Amino acid sequence: MIQSNFPKNVRLLSTMRYFNEEGKAFPTRSGYANFNLATHVGDDPQAVKRNRDLLIQRFNLPSEPKYLEQTHSNICLQASSGECVGDAVVTKDKGIVCAVLTADCLPIFACDRSGTQVGVAHAGWKGVVSGIIESFVEQFESNDLLVHFGPAISQDNFEVGNEVYQQFINKNSKLDQAFIQNGDKYQLDIYQAATIILNGLGIDSITGGDQCTYLQKDQYFSYRRDGAQSGRMAHLIWIG
């Protein structure tokens, strides 16, 4: 479980690319390592099902996670909805597990200070530009939120082109602070970009943001490092 400043009744978890049960590692499968939780990346469907079942059992989840069909959109869903296409999900219901999958993009956990509403968002650069953070925050009844950043790619390893930089600047000129220019390319600090947007929404109680999925190969999947056969970590939050 993640240590954060969230209320004690709120549980949040980010998985790793490897899973050891009683000291025994499952056989690795190329870039999927042994604990890929995504069904859309070309991995063996039975292996993914086994991993999802193991996730529930090992961490004593109160329900099966609500997995989304993520499209780098600005869509935030209520967990009680029958919809599954979106990039963030929130709930006020105890025991409902909200989930997103990532392999470099930024997972953003959030809850109100009383621990009565929780959610998690998938914030890649496309989603940030599209407004996923704003849509996510709007789904909360209170604007007095606590936020925790799960593991994402670091600025040193996140190179983008001028066209991406321009989209951020067109969205909000303050987002220039999240870039370092390197020749005709830019290095994006996705953590800082998200912080700037959250601060602009009046949210400043933010923890996390010190991990790098690209560099920490023993811990995390990274699409930029491993390519198309990269697995995905799950980021889960629920009210206990």
Q: Is residue 169 part of a domain?
A: no
Name, in order, each residue with C-beta under 8 angstroms of 199's C-beta and a sequence gap of 6 or more. Answer: none
Residue 173 maps to a domain: no
Q: Which pTM value belongs to this model?
A: 0.95
- Which residues span the domain enclosing 73? 10-152+203-239
CB 6 within 8 Å of CB 111: yes
Per-residue pLDDT tens over the stretch 147-204: 999 999 999 999 999 999 999 999 999 999 999 999 999 999 999 999 999 999 999 9
What is the Cα–Cα distance from 65 to 98, expressed in whole angstroms?
A: 6
- In tens, the pLDDT along 67-79 reads 999 999 999 999 9
In terms of residues, how long is the chain?
A: 240
The total number of structural domains that make up the chain: 1
CA dist list (Å): 195 to 28, 114, 206: 36, 22, 8
Task: Tell me the C-alpha distance between 146 and 118, whole Å.
Answer: 10
User: Is residue 71 situated within a structural domain?
Assistant: yes
- Phi, psi (5° rounding) for residue 196? -60, -45
